[in-house]
Amino acid sequence: MNRSGLRDNAPMKAQAVLRWAGAAALLLLSYRAWGWGGLALAGGGLTFWGLLHFTRLLRVLRQAADQPVGHVASAVMLNAKLQPGVSLLHVLALTRALGERRSLPAAGLDGFRWTDASGSFVDCEFHRGRLCKWALTRPVGESAETGAKSGVQAP
């Protein structure tokens, strides 16, 4: 922990340094190979790549800002679409809403919950911005009620 009470995340810092070093190397190599034209081409490509990611980030956050925090249309469908290792941004794009914060600071995990109108919810745990675990929880008696409505008897 640093002075502000936030966790230091050394692997994320290392990734950021490697990305900047890779971009600098690409610019240097393109300049050495093709001169100013190569530098302009590589710089334009890097700028375009950065703008694509920035635009996606803003679009996902704009969609999430218009929805209630922690609400999803169907928790069961969200549970079916989740896969281990996807980023928090990808989960936000799936849910179209910010999750209700359920932090687990001792374990180094970030926890979020999305709930639907029936009371079912999905708890997701992220480690370094990637989904590592999730669990669907349904309210008690929901399976018997839905079975009776559809004409199928619950076991």
Of 50, 42, 11, 40, which is closest to residue 25 (Cα–Cα)? 42
- DSSP reduced 3-state for 128: coil
Lowest-confidence segment of 27-36, 41-50, 119-128 by average pLDDT:
119-128
What are the b/e assignments for 27-36, b being 16+ CB within 10 Å?
A: beebbeeeee
pLDDT over 60 at 77, yes or no = yes
CB-facing half-sphere around the CA of 35: CA atoms within 13 A = 1
CATH of 69-146, one of 3.30.70.260, 3.30.1450.10, 3.40.50.10480, 3.40.50.2300: 3.30.1450.10
DSSP letter string, 7-30: PP-HHHHHHHHHHHHHHHHHHHHH
User: Rounded to two decimals, what is the model's pTM?
Assistant: 0.72
**What is residue 105's predicted lDDT score, i.e. its pLDDT?**
63
Query: Which pLDDT does position 69 carry in this prediction?
Result: 92
Average confidence (pLDDT) over 35-39: 95
Per-residue pLDDT, 109:
81
pLDDT tens per residue, range 104-129:
666 678 899 999 999 999 999 998 88
pLDDT in tens, 138-147: 998 755 444 4
Spell out the domain ranges in the chain. 10-64, 69-146
Predicted pLDDT at 102: 86
